[in-house]
Amino acid sequence: MLLEVEDLVVSFPTPDGLVEAVRGISFSVDSGQTLGIVGESGSGKSVAVQTTVGLTVGARVSGRALLEGKNLLSMSPAELRAVRGATIGMIFQDPMSSLHPYYRVGWQIMEMIRTHQQIDKSAARARVVELLGLVGIPRPEERVDDYPHQFSGGMRQRAMIAMALALNPALLVADEPTTALDVTVQAQIMELIRHLQEELGISVILITHDLGIIADMAHEVMIMYAGKVMESAGTRDIYYSPHHPYTAGLLNSLPQSGQEGQRLPSIAGQPPSLINPPSGCPFHPRCAFTMPKCRTASPPLGLVDTSIHRSACWLPAELTGSSAETDARRHAASAAQGGSVPSAVEGNPIPDPGKDET
Ligand code: SF4
């Protein structure tokens, strides 16, 4: 296993109280595999991964994050600096602000290489030209001397990917890499990441709020909500046999072909404050299947149907799927346990994807 994170807890002291951003999550990434981490804004997905590489200064952290057997959470800042870039490459959301506008693109990538490796300028420059070509920048031997403002948004993100790959990392972390890009460029960047992952054999952690983006990229998917893992499984199980109502709600929220003129389905209510998270299951104020024990007892991340399909939900394990029929069975199971629909959901039910809402 390349990266194993165990019982990670991250909180931030603020004037309003302690923000419990990540609340005891575990996950792992195998060599050559892609893990997709999905959740709404504020679910803790970026904080969890950034904490493992020491980018959450001021946070209170506990747990373990073993990279090739070494605990990243107990490393000194200097040791972590050596890991970042060399073993773990990172791509952030906004390519517009990730590059310094004052310096040439090629120079910035060269600096990164020369910080970690003892090589002369001409060798570093040759490596940068090679990398820019690898990520699809046309005429890299000329564009290496461009300033960031001479690159389009998609080219800047390609340059950031080149920088992240410069030292042949074993793990690439892509944190919402396409959020700031238009849709056609998004598709190109995702295709580039997939191509590089296959060609170079690296592992990838792909963080996104959009389940649609990772459908054909991730080997496994982890769904986060309110700082916890709600469901984790192989990608096929997440898309075709989701167990957790939150996962099913995310899938129902994806735009479908043939929905012209219909309201886009959404999950009722708002994500909770992590200063004072809900008791029991954190999703219970927004869940259409809430049972009395959902309000008081936090469900464990239990096995659903395969050795890696896990869900943190009190509903019976066999209730998988995102169809109207499965929802009817979820309602029946909930009602049998004395369930009722929370006020956040009343009047704004989780839509039936087969129902015309015009
Ligand atoms: Fe949470 Fe209960 Fe809904 Fe499952 S049924 S997601 S445990 S509120």
* Residue 358: per-residue pLDDT: 33
* Residue 49: per-residue pLDDT: 93
> Given the structure tokens 């074993």, which residue do they identify?
170
| CB of 283 closer than 6 angstroms to any ligand 1 atom | yes
For residue range 38-63, list pLDDT tens digits in order: 998 889 999 999 999 888 988 999 99
* Residue 165: per-residue pLDDT: 87
* Residue 258: per-residue pLDDT: 73
Name the nearest CA neighbour of 154 among 188, 110, 120, 203: 188
pLDDT over 50 (residue 109): yes
Structure token pair of residue 163: 């920088």
Residue 314 CA to ligand 1 centre (angstroms): 6
Residue 3 CA to ligand 1 centre (angstroms): 30
Ligand 1, atom 8, lies closest to the CA of 284
Residue 19 CA to ligand 1 centre (angstroms): 23
pLDDT over 90 (residue 1): no
Mean pLDDT of the chain: 88
Residue 58, classified by CB atoms within 10 Å of its CB into exposed (0-12), middle (13-18) or buried (19+), is exposed
Cβ(294)–Cβ(250) below 8 Å: no
* Residue 221: per-residue pLDDT: 96
221-245 average pLDDT score: 95
pTM of this prediction? 0.88
Tell me which of 243, 290, 311 to substitute to probe ligand 1's pocket, judged by most ligand atoms within 8 Å of the beta carbon. 290
| CA gap 263, 106 in Å, rounded | 46
* Residue 18: per-residue pLDDT: 95
pLDDT over 90 (residue 220): yes
Residue 11 CA to ligand 1 centre (angstroms): 24
pLDDT over 50 (residue 338): yes
Ligand 1, atom 7, lies closest to the CA of 313
Residue 10: CA count within 13 A, CB half-sphere: 31
Lowest average pLDDT, out of 94-108, 193-207, 331-345, goes to 331-345
Structure token pair of residue 233: 């499984």
Tell me which of 314, 318, 326 to substitute to probe ligand 1's pocket, judged by most ligand atoms within 8 Å of the beta carbon. 314
| CB of 313 closer than 6 angstroms to any ligand 1 atom | yes
Residue 29 CA to ligand 1 centre (angstroms): 27
Single-letter amino acid, residue 88: I
| Residue of higher predicted confidence among 259 and 275 | 275
Q: Residues of the chain with pLDDT > 90: what percent?
A: 55
Q: Residues of the chain with pLDDT > 70: what percent?
A: 94
Index of the ligand 1 atom closest to the CA of residue 294: 2
| CB of 345 closer than 6 angstroms to any ligand 1 atom | no
Residue 252 CA to ligand 1 centre (angstroms): 17
For residue range 141-194, list pLDDT tens digits in order: 999 999 999 998 888 888 988 888 888 899 999 998 887 677 777 888 888 888
* Residue 344: per-residue pLDDT: 62
pLDDT over 60 (residue 351): no
pLDDT over 50 (residue 37): yes
Residue 31 CA to ligand 1 centre (angstroms): 33
Banded pLDDT at 237 (limits 50, 70, 90):
very high
pLDDT over 90 (residue 334): yes
For residue range 110-143, list pLDDT tens digits in order: 998 998 888 899 999 999 999 998 888 899 999 9
For residue range 288-325, list pLDDT tens digits in order: 999 999 999 999 999 998 779 999 999 999 999 988 89
> Given the structure tokens 């909180």, which residue do they identify?
11
| CB of 225 closer than 6 angstroms to any ligand 1 atom | no
| CB of 95 closer than 6 angstroms to any ligand 1 atom | no
> Given the structure tokens 């952290």, which residue do they identify?
61
Tell me which of 228, 246, 247, 283 to substitute to probe ligand 1's pocket, judged by most ligand atoms within 8 Å of the beta carbon. 283
67-92 average pLDDT score: 89
Residue 290 CA to ligand 1 centre (angstroms): 5
* Residue 345: per-residue pLDDT: 66
* Residue 353: per-residue pLDDT: 39
